[in-house]
Amino acid sequence: MVFVDPGVLPMPASLSRPGDEPSTGDAEGPGSQTDAIFTESPLDRPGWHVRLFGSPEFFRLWLVQVVSATGDWLGLAAIIAFANQLYLDEPSAAAAAISLVVSVRLLPGFFFAPLAGVLVDRFDRRRLMIACDLARAVVLVSLPFVHGLAGLVVASLLLEVFTLLWSPAKEAITPTLVPHYHLTTANSLNLAAGYGSAPVAQILFAALAGVSAVLAGSSMPFFSDFDQTALAFFVDALTFVFSAAMLWRLSLPRRHRQRASTSGKRFDVTATVHELKEGWQFIFINPTVRAVNLGLATGLVGGGMLIPLGAVFSTEVLGAGTAGYGLFTTALMTGVAVGVVGVAALQKRLNKPVVFTRSLFVAGVALFLAASMSSLAPAAVFVAVMGMAVGPIYVLGFSMLHAEVDDDLRGRVFSALNTLVRFCVLLALVVGPLLAAALGGLADSLVGGEVGVGGRSIAVPGVRLTLWLAAVIIIGAGILATLTLRSGSRVAARWSQSHPSAHRAGAASAG
């Protein structure tokens, strides 16, 4: 069953997944028998966690995400520290090693993510997540015994492969654990779990240095051999064991569609190719899915440029140095938090597609104005406004996908989104600095690095021009998403008017 917001017309068959038949009650959709698990009698007194999280089972999944995300950030810090330790006497080699280890974690997303989506849609998702958690724990436990860069690279690749399976599986089961009207809050909580745990992981990593010092002076020969990095790997492994144990107790609604029998169908190359094509075809045919993917992915090309260029802009244009960049980061994260809380609080009153597309416009305009400032305070204010728009873009985008995509396709759709996001972020990180250098040279040669506007001289260094271009890209993403959604609404309206049920209703009304 495809979930739709109240008042939104059903999707015409021409825009639905090929081969779909009218649903007679998906075990995981609103209006089905499993909605009973979300139904409360007047005498029910659910706890605060049920009211906030929508159901006890989603609360359990959220706890899993908090612990796992903390482990992910902790593991990333440990891997970077480990790569640096391999070349302590060679700073340039250490920097190259860190870059290589971080970069290889992006590679599986381009090659394995589409297949991962098929596997997520074919296998039991809960068991798949448990297997991935246990596999990641094994990899992390083995890392303290690795003594070379090659082993660290292989371990990073394996960790990323298992993460590419775990993440879309988590996204696919989320709508089955909460009522459809609670999806915006659920995605807000997911975002908080994923990124709010980063500071906790950094504090924990610092604390492990003290623990390592205590163990080094103890009489326990086995534990005294492990430093801060090794202990971080062990703690990260424990977070995945905890996650697997919690997921083992997670109760999911029974599905009508029988997933992955023990037959050879699982390894049928023809069926796998067909399912890949089916998923990508749905992404391009369904206007809501296409708009969300365009908005999120294209917008990230623009917004992602702020990551490598923010420090340069703070230093070269504002003269605020690294302290200014720190203020930018704080303002952005604060704005994101405000935006996420706002959409969660107002979710029942929001027209999600409208707010999603308008948030893209606001984010683009705010970035353009921030890049136009020549002092730190107003630039930080506009960066905060940008963050207030970025939060709703993420939360509402995922909520729209959760509500629109049939359960049998969620794995492939979210894997495709992950691939697009990774590609666009990587493109922004690589192209941003190169583009800034190229545009800076062009501006110097053409206008001497500054232009006159209204009797005032405005400096146009390459970093400012690139951030302006990034803002235009985000605004363009908003335009594309708006046009796509409007086109889909017109097609849906024409289909609704031409449907036989509409004629029967009109005849009945006339009679």
Residues 383, 328: contact at Cβ < 8 Å? yes
Residue owning tokens 């809380």: 341
User: In whole angstroms, what is the distance from residue 266 CA to residue 123 CA?
Assistant: 9
| pLDDT at position 258 | 43
| pLDDT at position 300 | 74
* % residues pLDDT > 90 (the chain): 17
Instruction: Read off the pTM.
Output: 0.73
pLDDT in tens, 348-369: 788 888 999 999 999 999 999 9
For the chain, the structural domain boundaries read 54-255, 285-506
At 456, phi and psi to the nearest 5?
-115, 150
Does residue 262 surpass a pLDDT of 50?
no
Q: How confident is the model at residue 162 (pLDDT cuts 50, 70, 90)?
A: very high
Please identify, in words, the CATH class of the domain defined by 54-255: mainly alpha
Q: What are 129's two structure tokens? A: 């997540």
Phi-psi sector, 225: left (phi>0), alpha (psi -120 to 50), beta = alpha
| pLDDT at position 31 | 38
Top mean-pLDDT range of 226-235, 242-251, 282-291: 242-251
The more confident residue out of 357 and 47 is: 357
Domains 54-255 and 285-506 share a fold: yes
pLDDT in tens, 59-77: 999 999 999 999 988 988 8
| Tally: H helices and E strands in the chain | 19, 2
| pLDDT at position 222 | 56
Query: Taking residues 438-462, what's their average pLDDT?
Result: 82
pLDDT in tens, 75-106: 888 888 888 888 877 777 777 887 788 777 77
Does residue 7 surpass a pLDDT of 80?
no
| pLDDT at position 475 | 92
Lowest average pLDDT, out of 66-75, 161-170, 318-327, goes to 318-327
| pLDDT at position 496 | 59
Lowest average pLDDT, out of 3-17, 164-178, 320-334, goes to 3-17
C-alpha distances in angstroms, 300 versus 340, 359, 424, 426, 477? Answer: 17, 13, 6, 10, 9
| pLDDT at position 32 | 39
Does residue 230 surpass a pLDDT of 60?
yes
| pLDDT at position 131 | 95
Does residue 418 surpass a pLDDT of 60?
yes
The more confident residue out of 120 and 267 is: 120
Does residue 510 surpass a pLDDT of 70?
no
Residues 314, 320: contact at Cβ < 8 Å? yes
Top mean-pLDDT range of 36-50, 264-278, 461-475: 461-475
Residue owning tokens 């583009």: 435
Q: What CATH number should be reported for the domain whose range is 285-506?
A: 1.20.1250.20
| pLDDT at position 457 | 75
Does residue 237 surpass a pLDDT of 80?
yes
Lowest average pLDDT, out of 216-225, 343-352, 372-381, goes to 216-225
| pLDDT at position 221 | 59
| pLDDT at position 49 | 60
C-alpha distances in angstroms, 65 versus 197, 368, 373, 499? Answer: 9, 34, 38, 44
| pLDDT at position 48 | 60
Residue owning tokens 């998702």: 125
The more confident residue out of 335 and 490 is: 335
Top mean-pLDDT range of 4-8, 205-209, 428-432, 494-498: 205-209
CA 237-248-406 angle, 5° bins? 105
